[in-house]
Amino acid sequence: MQAGYFSVHKYLEKERRFVPFDKIALYQSRLTKVIIARAAFADIRFRLDQYGVNYSTVFPGLDGLSRHIEWLHSFLGDEKNLRRSVADMRWEIPN
């Protein structure tokens, strides 16, 4: 169900651990760290849902579906400033 990319990491036999990409010089220039401000979480979660990325698609099955339905019918702590229309389940983000 999930669409994504897989990575192959260098494994150090003696230390019995994988080497993170950010510790390999070849990949350091290709990596970008994105820091999302806490205040933006609710808006990003809302917009991801509009594009079909939510609990039910990331975690297919009864648990993911249940969490998505729960989220649709309740507000998380960071969603207090959002408004939803109960009739059509649309969200509005105040300007």
pTM over 0.85? The answer is no
Asked whether the beta carbons of 22 and 56 are under 8 A apart, the reply is no
Backbone angles phi, psi at 8, to 5 degrees: -115, 120
Mean pLDDT score, 55-82 = 85
Give the separation between CA 28 and CA 6, rounded to whole angstroms: 18
Rounded Cα–Cα distance for residues 74 and 51 (Å)? 20
> Taking residues 64-78, what's their average pLDDT?
85
- Distance (Å, rounded) from C-alpha 66 to C-alpha 79? 19
- Evaluate if residue 63 carries a pLDDT over 90: yes
Residue 65 has pLDDT above 60, yes or no: yes
pLDDT tens for residues 18-59?
Answer: 999 889 888 889 999 899 998 788 888 888 888 889 999 989
Question: Which whole number is the average pLDDT over 55-77?
Answer: 88
What pLDDT score does 5 carry? 77
